[in-house]
Amino acid sequence: MALQSRIAQADNGAIGFDTTVPLNSATANSYFSQNFRFCIRYVSRNDAGRQSNARGGTADLAADETAAIMRSGLALMVVQHVAKPPWSPTSALGNTYGQNAATYAAQGGLLPGVVVWLDLEGVAEGTDHQDIVDYCNEWFAAVTVAGYVPGVYIGYDVWLTEDELFFDLKTQHYWRADGNIPDVSHRGYQIFQSIKNPNTPAEFDRDVIKLDDLDGLPIWMVAQDPPVA
């Protein structure tokens, strides 16, 4: 019998990680045994990116990987790779990348209703704030039409103000990068990232779920009957 999965609100205080490296049954089980309770895996912006990432030793989330993650007891969400900095956002790119994020997430076995995250960082200095907002909202719209819930990872060189992040971006889910990152007015963040060994091949990104200031939490995918810790 195939393993049944479901969507659910994330657990406040849960500790997880995000990684570009695919998991298998052994690695997923190992993370669960170390008290990690969720992972966030990556998908590409386009087909060329998928091929490039594969050559670089990483890969998009795949359906068999999702099954292994579910069997381990880890919950799952997805984030899309960002372009190399400095890059310039446009509405058209937002629509294209958002459609691709949803398509690749679905191909990877992610259920509708789960948060798919936009990685926003490394934007070219001097970019008009409205161009950034339009890029994000087109991306959010494309992901939403496909049945997923949009969220945004706020990293460095985002350039938007705290109020713009809250009032102008059409999402209710925010994930904060490690470092000197702007706050989101009124709401705050639902995931906080910390980085061990930054800028090294052994970099490991640890994430913690926190109820935001408006009582919001991310939505993830988890096994219907996960193993007992």
pLDDT by residue (tens digit) across 19-37?
A: 999 999 999 999 999 999 9
Residue 37 placed within a domain: yes
Q: Across all residues in the chain, what is the average pLDDT?
A: 93
Task: Grade residue 1 by pLDDT with cuts at 50, 70 and 90.
Answer: very low
**Residue 117 is assigned to a structural domain of this protein:** yes
Predicted structure pTM score:
0.94
Instruction: Identify whether 109 is part of a domain.
Output: yes
Report the domain count for the chain. 1
Asked if residue 2 has pLDDT above 60, the reply is no
Query: What per-residue confidence (pLDDT) applies to 122?
Result: 98
| pLDDT: which is higher, 135 or 199 | 135
Q: What domain range is 79 assigned to?
A: 5-222
Residue 229 lies in a domain: no
Confidence of residue 200 (pLDDT cuts 50, 70, 90): low
**CATH label of the domain that carries residue 60:** 3.20.20.80
Interhelix angle for 25-33 vs 63-72, to 10°?
Answer: 30
Given a cut of 70, whether residue 202 has pLDDT beyond it is no
Do 184 and 174 contact (CB within 8 A), yes or no?
yes
Q: How does pLDDT run across 46-67, given as a tens digit for each residue?
A: 988 788 777 777 889 999 999 9
Asked whether residue 227 is domain-assigned, the answer is no
| Phi and psi angles of residue 115, each rounded to the nearest 5 degrees, phi first | -75, 130
Query: Cα dist. 60→50, 53, 106, 125, 215 in Å?
Result: 7, 8, 11, 29, 31
